[in-house]
Amino acid sequence: MSLDPVETNPRHYTVVFENERVRVLEYTDAPGDRTTPHEHPDSVMHTLSSFRRRLHSGGQHRDVDLPAGMTGWLPAQEHAGENIGDTPTHVLFVELKDGAPGARAGAVLGPQT
């Protein structure tokens, strides 16, 4: 059984960009919404809205209250979540894939679409 959030919770997670090094997911929900268990690899998370969530994993839970505009590291983990606040959640996750770090010879400078 896959724990890919795009497969387990397609109403909330969508892929907005992907290449051989990263996958970028957009997550949205409304107050009271819940997700089923899923996993994230090491990721960078950027909040586009302020929200309150309860994260569940291994019989434990943790409440988080995050402001809009926060960028932070999300270590690889498996969890389920629920929106316990009064506002929708809107987040971008930049999931890291395995790959060699460092510049590549002949790489094009600047952003690529």
Residues in a beta bridge with 83:
53
- The domains of the chain are located at 5-96
* Average pLDDT of the chain to the nearest whole number: 90
Portion of the chain with pLDDT greater than 70, in percent? 87
Domain 5-96 has CATH 2.60.120.10: yes
Q: Which two tokens stand for residue 99?
A: 């790959």
- Does residue 100 come out as left (phi exceeding 0), alpha (psi in the -120 to 50 range) or beta? beta
Report pLDDT digits (tens) over 53-68. 999 998 999 999 999 9
pLDDT digits (tens, 9 = 90+) for 26-49: 999 999 999 999 999 999 999 999
> 75 pLDDT exceeds 60?
yes
